[in-house]
Structure 1
Amino acid sequence: MNTKLKKIVNKPVALLIFGIAIGVLGGYLLFPSGAAKRGETTQGETAESTSEKEKKPLYWVAPMDAKYRRDQPGKSPMGMDLVPVYEDEISSQGRGKDYGEGAVSVAPHVINNLGVRTAIAKKSPLVHQINTLGVVQYDQDSIVHIHPRVAGWVEQLFVKAAGDQIKAEQPLYTLYSPELVNAQEEFLIALNRANVASTANAQASKNFPNNSLVKAAKARLSALHLSESFIERLTKSRQVQQNVTFYAPKSGVINNLKIREGFYVEPGNTLMSIGDLTSVWVEAQVLESDASYIATGNNVSMSLDFLAGQIWQGKVDYIYPTLRADNRTLRARLKFANPNEQLKPNMYAQVTIDATPSEPTVNVPLSAVIRTGLQDRVVLALGDGQFKSVAVRLGQVSGEQVAILDGLEAGLEAGDEVVISAQFLIDSESSVSSDFMRMSSMAGDTAATATVNGIVNAIAHADDDADVHAEEGNAQRIINISREAIEKWQRPATTMDFIAGENLDLSAVKSGDKVRFTFEIRAGDFVVTEITAIGTSEASQ
């Protein structure tokens, strides 16, 4: 009975095991690619993780100073995280190239974050434009001044106010003058004598106007500004005119009217002036710094507020030889045509003078120049993430462009790339002057030094950390100090690593001590040369 029972039980189990084996074999035969893919994926992931583990940084570098290198992550002297440098990045970023003293390297992501923009220096002549103000005036060359030739009284005045428009031969005023009356009588006497002498001789009658006495009397009338038409009427009427009317010699506008009816006038008095508005002068004042840019014949454009949008074109007519002492400006006389007589004297005008083009010079955008007060500088983009600040001498400024004079110490040339925004060589915590003083001292033979108080946080000796080495391979001692602010460099207080000098004794200094120390900047490293303990910090107590 037991033997039969065992056979009954074992038979289903054997069938179950056999069925599972058949199912596994069938699945493998039907879906062989899935297993292969799973195997490949596993192998790829393993290879990728292995490559990531094998890819190690060669060193860590300061984002803004390629010479500051460390063998482990940390902070740069400016408080920025050190950037890892891999072997495949050296060639692509050009960190193996030598761009000379003063060049700094900036990581690509820092350049992108700062929004650095550049422009190309170009060699071309600058067309300088001088913007100034001017006052519209009469064209003095076309003004006629009216003066009497005899003394007398103004009996009638035909113009009433300055600014009246008049036409040529229009009556201006009537004058009573005893001298004019006498001149007329002398002319009539000469005519009568010539007429009497001609009664006996008809031929002489025809020629009596040529008598010398008549000619002299007529010349005197002309000299007293009596017109030919007046003399002809006097010859025909043979009657003396007590009041003589004088007429306008030209068309124009009455200016500087100085008489009224009843005034007594005499030779030398200016009765009025007649100005011609078909052309006008504009007197402009040019700053002393712009005086060398203008010359006679330069083109000028002018606009006025009362006719917005309208532009008048003219020329520089004359440049006055002296400078005004009160405001240090040079006066320039500009001439404009005014056919419609829209321009009125004493109007204010906005004037733009096109200066004489300069000789071709190397020009950069004005935004590329960093002005420090003591010198002007431009940041060159050398390529491959390298930048260099150079001193320049500025020349003529025209709009948004400035000329760079010849004889530059840095050799800025046409085609060079200059930074026009986010000049990152000036870090956000320092002024322009202190930053460039620090850069100059790093590039020079004399190291920049500073003495300041601080608190020692840690001292790492060569025996404690075998990975801390100098670039030359010698062991270094690193002191982490929380220093106070450095006023002469305008640097805020911060915590940073310092390198102990070769001959510096650290036996009397320990973590937590208040110290007064002196350090130097040597090729981007901060090296402590002297250190003295002055107490213990409250935190360590």
Structure 2
Amino acid sequence: MSNKVNVLSLLVLGVVVGAIGTFSYISLRGPATDSIQVVTAEQDKPLYWVAPMDPNYTSDKPGKSPMGMDLIPVYKKELGGIDAGPGTIMISPEVVNNLGVRKVKVKKGLLHTKIETVGYVKYDEDLLTHVHPRVEGWIEKLYVKAAGDRITAGQPLYQLYSPTLVNAQEEYLRALERNNQRLIQAAMERLKALQVPDDAITELKKSRQVKQNITFFASEGGVVDNLNIREGFYVKPGNTLFSVGNLDQVWVDAEIFERQSSLVSTGQTVSMTLDYLPGKVWNGKVDYVYPTIDSKTRTLKARLRFDNRHWELKPNMFAQVTIHAEGEKALLVPKEAIIRTGSSDRVVLALGAGRYKSISVKVGRYDEKFAEILSGLSEGDRVASSAQFLLDSESSKSSDFKRMNSQAEDEISVPSTITVEASINSLMAGHRMVNMDHQAISEWNWPAMTMDFTVADSVNFSVLKPGLTLRVELSKSDDGNVEVTAIHIPDSDKSQSNDSGNRATVSGVVNSVMAGHRMVNISRGPIEKWNEPASDVSFMVGKDLDMSVFKVGAMLHFTFENRDGQFVITNINPMQMSGIDGE
């Protein structure tokens, strides 16, 4: 009877609970207990509502989005019990583990800046000597046959016949015959001043025989360079017979872009590699930083010094140079933690308790491992360094930041600039465009490919030629356009470029004349060999030309040369010759 009463009591209690509607379910603690636990069914209230297709549209009450879709409620429990604002996501520990999310702490440290550029090997000019004769005469015998020959100290270089040397020997012998010490000393000093070797003077004193030809010897070892003589040449004291360069140490001239010039100083460590010896690295120092910027290339030249005991480095070699600038204290995060979107840089901030949020940051310099944070983070913050792209994508669904193709409202994007080696395929002078094959650009995740680029007005377009290999500076603007803003042509290619583009003949009309400065402005025709369209150009007038020929409105046919970037008229024909294109 009692069992029936207990069952009946439970049924009545269930009916009462269902009627009142204040309890969600009834649970028994176990088979051996009669106690009852009641759990409330009241749900958390939404914090706000968000549009499913526009995470920036939120509302404090339910309704429709601007696109006519139902707004989605966002609950406090979805944000880990703490409202960190729109864009915060909550991920369970299991999902974090499956995604492989790693977190790193933002900390201050040394940022080691590297400047990567190119350089050219040359002789150490501190060890470079030039061989000059002290007297007039004829080269009777030449022991050095070709530039590049290696010589050692004391090695014979050439034999010289000179009447002056013959007379100087005879004066010494006469002084010896008279046994006058003052005359002997004076005659000997004269022979030494004329660079007669000591052995030749000693032999002359013993043999008392005048030598018609005197042999001259190398004072130090090295490599012969700029050999300007052959047997039978007549030489004078003003002639440089040849130079001798010591290759135990070499200089490397490196060119630094103007924006990096403040990072270079004397004494910095330098590493260098060459294509002809892959895998080998030379270590040296910055020996000297030149005080001026090249007006054409907008680069600063730095002189580097390297040991070269095995003579593997040879003058005029092309090298890849890395200058290791001094480290500076900065707020750092790993490079892989940065999400680069083109219009802004972002990181995924770990808020704790499984909460993450994508935020915008301002990034400064980079080194091999770290990026400098200028604003957006504080020391001690933690950011995701792996799987951050997935977290950023999820955070963007309710983020309060604008995305990749929109201009960031809280910062101004700075165009990125890189340097890369490229080869010119073709030119479009009328549009100031160039088609180039460029190497891979890791900073922009670009593979090696062929592309068209516009060329900035600050770059001298006339020096660009099809087939030319050079290093170019590419700058990317906020809207994604990329243009060539600086160029560097290797010395080996400059002579080629200047050979074919140094002189042109063209017709034109005089616009203005500045007689006092020997300068005229002419509307000239196109120059096909330079791929240059017709334009108004200011020319200097050669000193041997009559300025009176230049009159405003006159039609001229003239020849001019490009002399270090300045156009100089060298020949002129004042005849009316319209319709003639540049040759």
TM-score interval w.r.t. the shorter chain? Answer: 0.5 to 0.7
* CA shift digits 1:510-537 (9 cap, x unpaired): xxxxxxxxxxxxxxxxxxxxxxxxxxxx
Q: Could you say if the C-alpha distance between residues 180 and 162 of structure 1 is closer, same or farther in structure 2, counting changes exceeding 3 Å?
A: same
Give the aligned partner of residue 82 of structure 1.
72
Residues 372 and 220 of structure 1, relative CA distance in 2, 3 Å threshold? same
SS at match of 1:356: coil
Q: Does 1:144 align with 2:129?
A: yes
8 Å Cα contact 1:103/1:388 also seen in 2: no
What residue in structure 1 maps to residue 333 of structure 2?
364
Question: Residue 152 of structure 1 contacts residue 175 of structure 1 at CA under 8 Å; is this kept in 2?
Answer: yes
1:403 aligns with 2:372: yes
Letter in 1 for 2:323: I
- Structure 1 residues 426 and 340: alpha-carbon distance in aligned structure 2, compared to 1, 3 A threshold: same
- The Cα offsets for residues 428-481 of structure 1, whole Å up to 9 and x where unpaired, read as 9975363744x99xxxxxxxxxxxxxxxxxxxxxxxxxxxxxxxxxxxxxxxxx
Alignment of 1:432 onto 2:417: no
1:317 is aligned to 2:287: yes
The answer to whether residue 277 in structure 2 is matched with residue 307 in structure 1 is yes
Is the aligned partner of 1:129 residue 2:119?
no
Q: 1:435 to 1:94 in 2, by over 3 A?
A: farther
Is the CA contact (8 Å cut-off) linking 1:154 and 1:174 kept in structure 2?
A: yes
Structure 2 length normalisation: TM-score? 0.55
Q: 1:290 to 1:66 in 2, by over 3 A?
A: closer
SS at match of 2:111: coil
- Identify the structure with the greater strand proportion: 2
1:340 paired residue number: 310
Q: Amino acid of the residue matched to residue 289 of structure 1?
A: R
Q: For 1:85-141, what per-residue CA distance to the aligned partner results, in whole angstroms no more than 9, with x for missing partners?
A: 47xx36xx33444x4xx75322438x9799977543220111112222222211111
CA drift of 1:346 comes to: 1.7
Are 1:297 and 2:267 counterparts?
yes
For residue 164 of structure 2, what is the aligned residue in structure 1? 179
Q: Which residue of 2 aligns with 1:157?
A: 142
Question: Of the candidates 189, 197, 206, which is equivalent to residue 174 of structure 2?
Answer: 189
Question: Which residue of the partner structure matches residue 104 of structure 1?
Answer: 87
- C-alpha displacement at 1:364, in angstroms? 2.6
Paired position in structure 2 for 1:352? 322
CA distance in 2, matches of 1:56, 1:75: 24
- Cα deviation, 1:41-79, whole Å, max 9, x if unaligned, reads xxxx9858x999947564375489699467779879898
C-alpha contact 1:76 1:82 (8 A) present in aligned 2: no
Contact 1:66 / 1:95 at 8 angstroms: preserved in 2?
A: no
Deviations 1:150-182 (A, max 9, x none): 011111110110111111111101111111111
Counterpart pick for 1:329 among 278, 287, 299: 299
1:94 aligns with 2:94: no
Q: Is the 8 A contact 2:332 2:370 kept in 1?
A: yes
2:155 matched to which residue of 1? 170
| Residues 104 and 382, structure 2, Cα contact 8 Å, conserved in 1 | yes
Superposition CA RMSD, Å: 4.0
Deviations 1:16-51, CA, capped at 9 Å, x for gaps: xxxxxxxxxxxxxxxxxxxxxxxxxxxxx9858x99
Tell me which of the two structures has the higher relative contact order, counting C-alpha pairs closer than 8 angstroms and 6 or more residues apart: 1
Identical amino acids, percent of aligned pairs? 44
Gaps of 5+ in 1: 1-44, 195-207, 441-541
Contact 1:138 1:276 in 2 (8 A): yes
- Between structure 1 and structure 2, the one with the greater Rg is 1
CA distance in 2, matches of 1:78, 1:435: 27
* 3-state secondary structure, aligned to 1:182: helix
In structure 2, how many angstroms separate the alpha carbons of the residues matched to 1:263 and 1:294?
A: 48
Deviations 1:263-321 (A, max 9, x none): 11101211011111111111111222222222211111222222222222211111111
Aligned mate of 2:193, from 223, 242, 245: 223
**Secondary structure of the structure 2 residue equivalent to 1:434:** coil
Q: Tell me the distance in 1 between the aligned counterparts of 2:65 and 2:150.
A: 84
Distance in 1 (CA, whole Å) between partners of 2:404 and 2:173 is: 94
Output the amino acid matched with 2:381: D
CA distance in 2, matches of 1:192, 1:338: 53
- Which moves more between the two structures, 119-128 or 162-171? 119-128
Residue of 351, 355, 358 corresponding to 1:382? 351
Q: Is the 8 A contact 1:285 1:331 kept in 2?
A: yes
